[in-house]
Structure 1
Amino acid sequence: MGNRKRQSALAIKESKKSLSLAKLRNCPTSPRKMRLVADQIRGKSIDSALSILKFSPKQSSKKLEKLLLSAISNWQLKNENEDIEKAKLFISEIIIIHKTNSIKTSIKPPLFSDTLDTNS
């Protein structure tokens, strides 16, 4: 492996440490109903997104709340020495795919401009 390629691979690996991902598959709720709730929390901080989901009367909000809590716990496993309140996490991306009714949520701290590979 060349030096430039190794440095590029290490940079990608470091950027993925700050990114956390959670997926929900085979969800029986329709994607249109799920998108209504997902649009409300996209780009919000974790605290405000959890409060929106907790007090929303829609059925899909409970599933998205569980998914968001899973993404938070995945972030905690990657970053054991960091505090959630100090990290100021936010929802960077939430994708609802119609074909398999799967939902991808990713959270990351601010000041990072990573993109999520949606082909996986």
Structure 2
Amino acid sequence: MRATAKAKNVGMSARKMRLVIDQIRGRDVNDAYAILQFSKKKAARPIGKLLRSAVANATYRADEDGASLDVDELYVHEAYVDEGRTLKRWRARAYGRATSVLKRSSHVTVVVDTRG
């Protein structure tokens, strides 16, 4: 039973999010939970929330179809991060100048599926 969850405009750069998402891709859901729980990266929190949402979507779809689904059989089939919009802000600098500050965001997608 394949299920997808997406989070858009997460207020973190895609480069930082990819460090965490690469660790859980292809793993069992329980292993991915453990990795995210003990990760020191700030990106682990929104990715963990998204993974829980994908598992909940899988169980809901299984209930709708009348099929039985064991959460322990799920694994992270796909997980990727795309760049979101970039907010452009200005910061005051010396001698009356200004420099740009780019506040980056990202779109995260997690797909869980059963093995076999």
Give the TM-score category using the shorter length.
0.7 to 0.9
Post-superposition offset of 1:84: 2.2
Cα RMSD after superposing both structures? 1.3
Q: What is the alpha-carbon distance in structure 2 between the residues aligned to residue 42 and residue 32 of structure 1?
A: 16
SS at match of 1:59: coil
Structure index of larger Rg: 2
Q: Which residue of 2 aligns with 1:84?
A: 70
- Percent identity (aligned): 31
Higher relative helix content = 1
Higher strand proportion: 2
Q: TM-score, normalising length from structure 2?
A: 0.75
Equivalent residue in structure 2 for 1:70, among 24, 41, 53 = 53
Q: In 2, distance between residues paired with 1:55 and 1:70?
A: 19
SS at match of 1:65: helix
In the alignment, which residue of structure 2 is the partner of 1:107? 112
Deviation at 1:85, TM superposition (A): 4.2
Aligned amino acid, residue 65 of structure 1: G
Structure 2 CA distance for aligned equivalents of residues 99 and 59 of structure 1: 18
Give the corresponding residue for 1:26: 9
33 and 41 in structure 1: CA distance in 2 versus 1, 3 angstrom threshold: same
The 3-state SS of whatever aligns with 2:16 is: helix
What 5-or-longer segments of structure 1 have no aligned partner?
A: 1-17, 112-120
Larger relative contact order, structure 1 or 2 (CA cutoff 8 Å, min sep 6)? 2
What count of residue pairs does the alignment treat as equivalent?
93
